[in-house]
């Protein structure tokens, strides 16, 4: 029995080929943040016939059992990443949706200091910083935002960052 089969059975889920295929897609890209559409596209490219609704249902189930972590950076589409058990924060490009993971011990310590100053015991936290990535097309869009407000960045469509 494989590690994934054991995980599924141990969490009360049936072992199905679509579940195993979705799990394999994330293990092949351990630091990527994928939407249901991304996973569906990867499975289809590999010749696996799994419907988009099934993919989304599996993603939610795998997040519930701790195999994946679910995030919603732009409030429109959830992204999922392999749960590796390592805390990290995110940089998110507001134009293309690129996500970069990072860990900074200085930031982590400062968060603990702030929590202590306010007499809070931190249990967990998430931090996502929104900005513009290095991609030329995103930089051009960012420059254009100063002149034209008609093409709002992905993350700014539903959040009041400006």
Cα distance between residue 94 and residue 144, in whole Å: 14
User: In which residue ranges of the chain is CATH 3.30.1490.190 found?
Assistant: 86-162
Is the pLDDT at 148 greater than 50? The verdict is: no
Share of the chain above pLDDT 90, in %: 49
Q: What is the model's pLDDT at position 91? A: 93
Is 1-84 a domain of CATH 1.10.10.10? yes
User: In which residue ranges of the chain is CATH 1.10.10.10 found?
Assistant: 1-84
Please give the model's pTM, rounded to 2 decimal places.
0.73
- pLDDT, tens only, 118-142: 999 999 888 989 999 999 999 888 8
Cβ within 8 Å of residue 93, ≥6 positions away: 99, 131, 132, 133, 135, 138, 154
Under the phi-then-psi rule, with left for phi > 0, alpha for psi from -120 to 50, and beta for the rest, what region is 92? beta
Is 86-162 a domain of CATH 3.30.1490.190? yes
Sheet holding 99-102, edge to edge: 99-102, 89-93, 128-131
């Amino acid at each position: 029995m494989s590690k994934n089969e054991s995980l599924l059975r141990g969490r009360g889920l049936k072992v199905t080929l679509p579940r195993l295929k979705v799990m394999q897609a994330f293990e092949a890209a351990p630091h990527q943040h994928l939407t249901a559409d991304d996973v569906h596209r990867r499975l289809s490219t590999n010749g696996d016939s799994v419907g988009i609704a099934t993919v989304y249902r599996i993603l939610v189930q795998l997040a519930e059992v701790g195999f994946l972590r679910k995030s919603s950076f732009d409030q429109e589409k959830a992204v999922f990443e392999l749960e590796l058990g390592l805390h990290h924060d995110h940089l998110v490009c507001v134009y293309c949706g690129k996500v970069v993971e990072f860990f900074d011990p200085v930031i982590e310590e400062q968060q603990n200091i702030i929590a202590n100053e306010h007499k809070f015991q931190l249990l967990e936290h998430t931090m996502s910083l929104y900005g513009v990535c290095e991609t030329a097309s995103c930089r051009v869009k960012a420059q254009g935002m100063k002149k034209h407000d008609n093409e709002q960045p992905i993350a700014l469509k539903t959040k009041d960052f400006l």
